[in-house]
Structures are given as C-alpha cells and as structure tokens.
Amino acid sequence: MRVDLVLRHADLFLAGLVTTLQLTFWSLLLGMIVALPVAVARTRRIPRLDGLLRGYIFVFRGTPMLVQTYLIYYGLAQFEFVRDSVLWPVLRSPFYCALIAFSLNTGAYTAEILRGALETVPKGEIEAAEAIGLSPLQVLRRITIPAAFRRALPLYGNEVVLMLHGSTVASVITIQDILGAGRTLNGKYYLAYEGLLTAAVLYLALTFLITAAFAFAGRRWSTHRRPAAKRRGSP
C-alpha cells in the first residue's frame, strides 16, 4: 500500500470530496423540491395528473441512474435544437447534467417515501386541525407534512446514503469526484487498489456521519414528542 502517494495527492481527494458533497447536497435538495409536490398530488389522486406522476416515478425508479445520466449528458447533445437553445451552456456541463439526472432520480424515490408517509398520518389529527378552523393548506403545512417527515425520516436517511453511493456515477462523465480522484491516482501511477481503497474509506466515513446524523435527529424528534414525565409525588 503506497500511503505516501495517497498523502502526496491529498489535495486531489479533497477536491473530489468537495465535488461529491456538492453534487449529493444539491441533488437531494432539488429532489426534495420535486418530490414534495409530487407526493402530495399522488395522495390526492388527481385523475389527469396522477398518470403522469406515476409514469415519472416508474421510469426513474425502473431504470439505472447510469443510463439516465448517459441519456441526459450524451443523448441530448445529439439534437441540434438543444445545442442551439439557451439551455446548452447548462446541458453541455457534466456537473449540471449529472445534477439533473440525480435530482430527478432521487426525486422519484423520495416522492414514494413521502407518499407512503403522508398516507399513514392518522385521520384524527387532520380532523382535529380542521375542527379548529385551519384551512386545507394550513392543515397540510402545519400537520400533515411535519407528521409525514417524522415517519419518513428513517427511510429518507437510507435514500441519502444511497444517493451518496450513487453519485459515483458522475465519475464516468469526467467529473472528478471521490471515485474519480481514486481512479486518477491509480491511472497515473499504475496502481491496483490504493486510489480505490482511499475512495472507499472516504465513502465509509461519509456514510457513518450521515447515519449518525439521522439517528441523532430521530432520537431528538422522538424525545420532543414524548409526554412530559410526571413530577415526583404527583398523583
């Protein structure tokens, strides 16, 4: 194990780490922006819209993210009207193409997670909110969505980890993420595993931090919802 080469190229892995974190963070944020209205609309069963939303979720959950990234990065560039459009400065960038593919992919998975959580919110909580005069939008914003997020937290934590691991797809379209840094190191010095092993350690560390953060959030959230303990001596 050539640890000296890894340490000598620490800046390469640091840049890859920053790229991975940026790509993962923005993909999850944009994916949530897509997923929340999709999940709410799916629970309402709007006839004409429901079929389109089902189709979006089916396509992006049913095809590999690698294929989706290839279709956006290489496929769209084949059309002349795309190259002549105002979107071309964005669509010719590997980072933004990966960001679009990842956001739509995680948005589809997150929408199904939130839809399931929304449908498990007790009707009694919704009826109680309506009984005190809250509008449907206020019920959704103050009662339904917060309750759904609490129930979806463990599953969404898994989705965040899977999105982090799935971001390795970016390295195949020339993005220098963590895996790309490892492959560059191996290719430069004709190494067998030093670069990939370093990348694996970094991904393992990030996964540990993410799972620990979601476990902490879950404990804090459940603690705030526990009934206050009775005082000593109270009946």
Q: Is 233 helix (H, G, I), strand (E, B) or coil?
A: coil
* First-to-last C-alpha distance (Å) of the chain: 67
Establish if 231 belongs to a structural domain: no
Establish if 27 belongs to a structural domain: yes
Place of tokens 């009694």: 124
- Write out pLDDT tens, residues 1-60: 788 888 899 999 999 999 999 999 999 999 999 999 999 999 988 888 999 999 999 999
Establish if 235 belongs to a structural domain: no
- From residue 186, how far is each of 47, 71, 129 by CA, in Å? 53, 28, 59
Note whether 216 and 154 are within 8 A (CB). no
pLDDT interval class at 216 (50, 70, 90): very high
pLDDT of residue 170 exceeding 90: yes
pLDDT of residue 230 exceeding 70: no
Establish if 228 belongs to a structural domain: no
Of residues 185 and 130, the one with the higher pLDDT is 185
Establish if 143 belongs to a structural domain: yes
Establish if 232 belongs to a structural domain: no
Q: How many residues does the chain have?
A: 235
Q: Report the phi/psi class of residue 134: left, alpha or beta, with left for phi > 0 and alpha for psi in -120 to 50.
A: beta
Q: What is the pLDDT of residue 132?
A: 87
Query: 118: which 2 tokens?
Result: 């929304």
Query: 7: which 2 tokens?
Result: 């340490």
The domain of 75 spans 3-222
Establish if 227 belongs to a structural domain: no
Which has the closest alpha carbon to 59: 41, 43, 71? 71
pLDDT of residue 222 exceeding 50: yes
pLDDT of residue 115 exceeding 50: yes
CB atoms within 10 A of CB 106: 28
Establish if 234 belongs to a structural domain: no
- Write out pLDDT tens, residues 123-160: 888 888 888 888 888 888 888 999 899 999 999 999 99
User: Across the chain, how many H-helices and E-strands are there?
Assistant: 12, 0
How confident is the model over 217-223, as a mean pLDDT? 78
The pTM is what?
0.90
Percent of all residues in the chain with a pLDDT value above 90, rounded to a whole number:
70
Note whether 117 and 111 are within 8 A (CB). no
CATH number, position 167: 1.10.3720.10
pLDDT interval class at 225 (50, 70, 90): low
- Write out pLDDT tens, residues 50-88: 999 999 999 999 999 999 999 999 999 899 999 999 999
What's the total number of domains in the chain? 1
Note whether 202 and 178 are within 8 A (CB). yes
Q: What is the pLDDT of residue 223?
A: 59
Q: What is the pLDDT of residue 226?
A: 53
Cα separation, 195 vs 187, whole angstroms: 9
Cα separation, 72 vs 30, whole angstroms: 17
Which has the closest alpha carbon to 142: 124, 130, 154, 152? 130
pLDDT interval class at 228 (50, 70, 90): very low
